[in-house]
Structure 1
């Protein structure tokens, strides 16, 4: 582990900031595609986005294995997670409760844990660092929590992701959930959300 002086600080107020982040993620899951801003962590370890680090600080602990994609798994990021969250970091993404990946190098969605009919909640929640999130033009979202449809533009994703997302939806009640982040901004796509490309 890196020296204590090299570890980036976590939340300024761990209890209140964790609660605020948890509520923001819960609201984002209940209202798929709606943007939420988490201005609670100004200096996360590179290459993690502020929203990525904040979500992990609030939701990841010693009982939630974390997988970090190779292109994001810096020593600073790994040390930060181990120190602040106390989570085991796994090499097999199929064993992860949470995963962090970049949009451009997001691995196949089928390789993450999908849970089972008895315990669908044992699936992986994948945090995807995009290069841009914006309401308006782009994808058309529909499903629970969305009145009629909602539009969301997501930049930087590799090709084929939304075809895999359609296959993920067929697995319900199993399947993964996505949290898309751009800097301090996030939007959630639970497995029940249908995505139609423009």
Structure 2
């Protein structure tokens, strides 16, 4: 049974890693992530929006685990605050990855940041954007959002959403993607972080059904509207 579980996890890691690479190589292309059933029940966080505990998006958390190892560092945030390393979600991630969790005072040293919801613009500004000599030292951030849909399927979205026009390497002319559950201030923070290219932060957006897009620092983003 242990061997079977290890085989399942290895296959999951391989498929997920490929999907994440493809997401950055083809910005705005919607990739479908698998659910990491082997990882167990999702940890939860307290949501100030609904005043209750909410399970973390396991598609996004599983994708993060694929990139973490004993040599990497990460930090997690929710409701505009960094989580202490003693929080359940952080301990859950440490246990399954062997990675090192950082606290608020060391956010700029984190290789990966995980935002449990889409209202953390002030936190993004605290992450590393790399240096001109070593831009690869920048952080990579995961945002958990409600829904993602391309231009032809925007009717699938039922709440307020933003329409993003994407241009740049990996995109033939232009790509349109609709995002529900991400604050406009977060997009503004992403754009601000990459205003001095090659500095910037690579972004993954993952929705509650496992749809994922990449927004590498090379991608130019224009917010069209948030109206249907």
Same fold (TM over 0.5): yes
List 4+ stretches of structure 1 deviating above 3 A: 70-76
Partner of 1:189: 215
Aligned residues: 189
Partner of 2:196: 171
1:34 aligns with 2:29: yes
Alignment of 1:16-165 (within 5 A): 16-42=11-37, 43-46=41-44, 47-71=55-79, 73=83, 75-91=87-103, 92-101=106-115, 102-136=117-151, 138-165=163-190
CA displacement at 1:109 relative to structure 2: 2.9
* TM-score w.r.t. length of structure 2: 0.75
CA displacement at 1:158 relative to structure 2: 2.2
Asked whether the equivalents of residues 18 and 58 of structure 1 are also in contact (C-alpha less than 8 Å), the reply is yes
Larger radius of gyration: 2
- Secondary structure of 2:194 counterpart: helix
Structure 2 Cα separation of the partners of residues 56 and 132 of structure 1: 18
- Secondary structure of 1:107 counterpart: helix
Cα offsets for 1:134-172 (capped at 9, x unmatched): 111511111000001011111122232333333333221
Bigger shift: 20-29 or 64-73?
64-73
* TM-score w.r.t. length of structure 1: 0.86
- Secondary structure of 2:189 counterpart: helix
Asked whether the equivalents of residues 56 and 85 of structure 1 are also in contact (C-alpha less than 8 Å), the reply is no
Asked whether the equivalents of residues 96 and 113 of structure 1 are also in contact (C-alpha less than 8 Å), the reply is yes
Structure 2 gaps of 5+ residues are: 45-54, 155-162
Q: CA RMSD in A?
A: 2.1
- Secondary structure of 2:122 counterpart: coil
Asked whether the equivalents of residues 33 and 150 of structure 1 are also in contact (C-alpha less than 8 Å), the reply is yes
- Secondary structure of 1:99 counterpart: strand
